[in-house]
Amino acid sequence: MTTRIIALVLLGLVMGFILLMASVSFFVRDPLPIVGANQTLLLHTAEISPQIRTSVAIDGGYRVDLTVEHAEAQDPQVVLRPVGGQAIILDTGLDSSGAWSGSGQMTRPGRWELVLTDGAARETLPFIVRE
């Protein structure tokens, strides 16, 4: 009888642990995108209309290349910064298709923000840079 009680308690603990791990997906609603060295991350605005599409490409030395595709009527201001830190300096220009492009050196891995401002509309696109 004692063996059955111990087995049922252990079964209850194991099932409780499994249910707890399965419920994590309900708590994390909108995870941040993650990008690493030699990868490209595609982001787009949800609050600015018409939509602005961005491409964040990071090379092996954590040098970042940004491409911001926008409508001709838009003139977005772009800031790339670590969360809670100062914006990095970007060498900017326009590519052959008229899209805004910039490049700079990322200072550290961790949480970053791409801040797009178009007139009065402003949107922050967070992402994580992994080592």
What pLDDT, in 10s, does the model give residues 80-125? 999 989 999 999 888 777 788 999 999 899 999 999 998 889 999 9
Token couple for 19: 């249910």
Short-list 42, 85, 98, CA closest to 65: 42
- The pLDDT assigned to 64 comes to 95
Contact 118, 76 (CB under 8 A): yes
Token couple for 63: 């040098």
Has residue 10 got a pLDDT over 90? yes
Q: Is the CATH number 2.40.50.140 carried by domain 34-129?
A: no
Pairwise CA distance, residues 119 & 47, whole Å: 13
Token couple for 121: 């509309």
Contacts of 77 (CB under 8 A, 6+ apart): 116, 117, 118
Short-list 38, 55, 61, 57, CA closest to 107: 61
- The pLDDT assigned to 111 comes to 95
Query: Which tens digits make up the pLDDT trace of 40-89?
Result: 999 999 998 899 999 999 998 999 999 999 888 888 899 999 998 999 99
Token couple for 4: 């059955």
> Any idea how long the chain is?
131
Pairwise CA distance, residues 38 & 55, whole Å: 13
Q: What is the pTM of this model?
A: 0.75
- The pLDDT assigned to 58 comes to 95
